[in-house]
Structure 1
Amino acid sequence: MNICVFLSAADLDVRYTRPAREFAELLGRGGHTLVWGGSESGLMKVVADGVRESGGRLVGVSVDFLAAKARTDADEMVIARDLAERKALLLAKADAFVIMVGGTGTLDEATEILELRKHGKHTKPVVLLNTAGFYDGLHEQFRRMEDEGFLPMPLTELVFFAEDGVGALAHLEESAGMR
């Protein structure tokens, strides 16, 4: 399965890097392909290294203004003209999505993928990996949106919240009929 992961390119604390590395190793050992932003820095590097060292493939989609930071040993690397094209390419190349810890770029990618799912533009599973409770507040906000009628579908059909990588991958594999 081609699993697109949205995550930070920042250097982060071990409470985020260790679970990210463990999830990456699960992906690689499971024979999955990582589709990601292509960066060779921060958490993106941690995950790409873990997937590569565990036997998985790497498909990067960078963007023109970040091309100098793109990983050079990916199995495939595409350089998009702009962020809009990058997001479209990530959507096209992925069978499923995992949202990991990140900043505004990660939230931008995540909300676009969720909005497209909400409108039926794709039916690919989306998992929000809530490492160290990072997305507790967002989860609460999504529940409020559901409770107050802002979501046209049940939250559980829009996104699956996983507390760890094992749960995230199990959900994706079950959604794809691999279990």
Structure 2
Amino acid sequence: MNICVFCSAADLDDRYVTAAREFAELIGRGGHALVWGGSDTGLMKVMADGVQEAGGKLIGVSVEFLAHKVREGADEMVVTKDLAERKAQMLVRADAVVIMVGGTGTLDEATEILELRKHGMHSKPVVLLNTAGFYDGLKQQFQRMEAEGFLPLPLTDLVFFAEDGVGTLAYLEEKAGIQG
């Protein structure tokens, strides 16, 4: 399974790094491929290192203005013109999507992927990996959106909130119907 992961390129606290490394190793050991932003910095690097070291495949999709940060040695590396094309190319290459901790770029990616799913533009499973409660506030906001009628489908059909990598991968393998 090709698992698209949106996450930060920033260097972060150990609680996020450790969780990312554990999830990356699960992806690699499961024989899955990581589709990621192609960067060799921050959590993106942690994910790529972990997947590659555990025997998984790396499919990077970077963007021209960040091409100087791409990871050497990926199995595939695509450099797109802009961020919109990057998101589209990542989704095309993915069987499933995981949104990990990140800043405004990650939030932009998350909302676009969820909006496309909401409108039936893809049916790939989407997980918000809620490491250390990072997305508790967002989860609460989504629940409010659902309760007040802003979502045309049940929240559980839109996104799954997982607390760790084990739960994330189990959900994806079940929903995608593909085992590593």
Task: Report the TM-score range of the alignment, normalised by the length of the smaller protein.
Answer: over 0.9
State the TM-score, normalizing by the size of structure 1. 0.99
User: What CA distance in whole angstroms lies between the structure 2 residues aligned with 1:176 and 1:139?
Assistant: 23
* Residues 25-48 of structure 1, C-alpha deviations (whole Å, 9 max, x = no match): 000000000000000001100010
User: What CA distance in whole angstroms lies between the structure 2 residues aligned with 1:178 and 1:59?
Assistant: 18
State how 1:35-74 maps to structure 2 within 5 Å.
Answer: 35-74=35-74
Instruction: Using the TM superposition, give the Cα deviation of residue 82 of structure 1 relative to its aligned residue in structure 2, in angstroms.
Output: 0.4
User: What CA distance in whole angstroms lies between the structure 2 residues aligned with 1:114 and 1:150?
Assistant: 13
State how 1:1-179 maps to structure 2 within 5 Å.
Answer: 1-178=1-178
* Residues 48-85 of structure 1, C-alpha deviations (whole Å, 9 max, x = no match): 00000000000000000000000011000000000111
Aligned partner letter, 1:87: K
Give identity over the alignment, percent: 78
SS in 2 for 1:101: coil
Instruction: Using the TM superposition, give the Cα deviation of residue 177 of structure 1 relative to its aligned residue in structure 2, in angstroms.
Output: 1.7
User: What CA distance in whole angstroms lies between the structure 2 residues aligned with 1:134 and 1:171?
Assistant: 19
* Residues 6-33 of structure 1, C-alpha deviations (whole Å, 9 max, x = no match): 0000000101000100000000000000
User: What CA distance in whole angstroms lies between the structure 2 residues aligned with 1:65 and 1:93?
Assistant: 21
Instruction: Using the TM superposition, give the Cα deviation of residue 178 of structure 1 relative to its aligned residue in structure 2, in angstroms.
Output: 3.3
Count of aligned pairs:
179
User: What CA distance in whole angstroms lies between the structure 1 residues aligned with 2:135 and 2:87?
Assistant: 22
* Residues 124-172 of structure 1, C-alpha deviations (whole Å, 9 max, x = no match): 0000000000000000000000000000000000000000000000000
State the TM-score, normalizing by the size of structure 2. 0.98
Gaps of 5+ in 1: none
Instruction: Using the TM superposition, give the Cα deviation of residue 176 of structure 1 relative to its aligned residue in structure 2, in angstroms.
Output: 1.5
User: What CA distance in whole angstroms lies between the structure 2 residues aligned with 1:84 and 1:69?
Assistant: 18
* Residues 106-126 of structure 1, C-alpha deviations (whole Å, 9 max, x = no match): 000110000000000000000
Structure 1 residue ranges (4+ consecutive) displaced by more than 3 angstroms after TM superposition:
none
